[in-house]
Amino acid sequence: MNKDFQKIGPTVTMLVPYDCNNLCPFCVNKKEYRDISSFDLDRCYQSLDLMNRVFPHNDIVLTGGEPLANLETLRDILSHIEEGHHIYINTTLPVSEGSSIEKVADFLNAHADRISCVNVSRHLKHYVRECSDEIFNLLKVKTRINCVVFEDAKEEATKEKLIAFLDRFKGRDIQLRANYSLLTLENVFDKENDNLFKLISEVCEYKCDLEIEKFRTGYVFERNGSRITYHKTLPFAKIDGVIGDIIIRQTGLIYDDWNEYGAELNINDLAGIRYK
Ligand code: SF4
């Protein structure tokens, strides 16, 4: 399948109806999984179809919860998404009892033509249940390590942990993420007073800024063959009526923002905007 096309329109992020069994302190999705009685996969499919008609060439992110918690359903979801979208999967690469890293890798490799990137959560502290790093050598699909730096960037211990982390994933694509819950419109584009930016600059080589967008910004670094991005995204996906992310919740209902910040999507909010 050709993945070499331009993204047009806001990203559609679908929260899969499967929990992750982790308890990361920075998680914004976890509370959605406390009551699963209204989850409805068929309605999620209807919403994917609807969004596909509006934005046939945008990015689709499957997140949760845990998209790989149920491989059969994930197979179904992937086959349901029309061609013409870049598909990204946010996962911890869980290996369930009776399974193995080989089985998980085989599954992802079998769908490599549909998946643009598998974003794997790994953090300075083991907030998520981790499988063996050997899995990365088995995967033929593009991967990126996503790490939320929750620790105080001013602490010397954080610097040591960050260096050990970067060494562990040497040569891989790594995205270091700010603790989004601390970000505001005032500080999201600020480098001068950003202790995490300073820390990353100390241990990596700064290369360039990513283009500033309404909802996010980022910086590119290098270290030991790794491309490292430091990514700052507001916990808002809608600002001044402009929608950056469309969320399909586990119920199948479509929202224009994350969690308590969001409201059910008003289609007119999409009508007046020229999306690229
Ligand atoms: S693995 Fe992801 S969804 Fe699960 S608790 Fe951590 S951040 Fe939240």
Name beta bridge partners: 12. Answer: 60, 246
Structure tokens at 47: 């919403």
Domains in the chain: ranges and CATH: 1-141+237-276 (3.20.20.70), 149-234 (no CATH)
Q: Are 64 and 249 in contact (CB under 8 A)?
A: no
Say yes or no to pLDDT of 275 above 70. Answer: no
4-21 pLDDT, tens digit each = 778 889 999 999 999 999
pLDDT for 133 equals: 98
Q: Whose CA is nearest to atom 7 of ligand 1?
A: 27
- Tell me the average pLDDT across 249-266: 87
**What distance in Å separates the CA atoms of residue 168 and residue 230, rounded to the nearest whole number?**
17
- Rounded mean pLDDT of the chain? 93
**What distance in Å separates the CA atoms of residue 150 and residue 83, rounded to the nearest whole number?**
36
More confident residue, 88 or 260: 88
Express as a percent the part of the chain with pLDDT over 70. Answer: 96
* 47 ligand 1 Cβ < 6 A: no
198-225 pLDDT, tens digit each = 999 999 999 999 998 888 999 999 999 9
Q: Tell how far the Cα of 188 is from the centroid of ligand 1, in angstroms.
A: 22
Say yes or no to pLDDT of 263 above 90. Answer: no
Answering whether pTM is above 0.75, one says yes
**What distance in Å separates the CA atoms of residue 206 and residue 16, rounded to the nearest whole number?**
36
**What distance in Å separates the CA atoms of residue 242 and residue 95, rounded to the nearest whole number?**
39
* 119 ligand 1 Cβ < 6 A: no
Nearest atom in ligand 1 to the alpha carbon of residue 127 is: 6
More confident residue, 252 or 5: 252
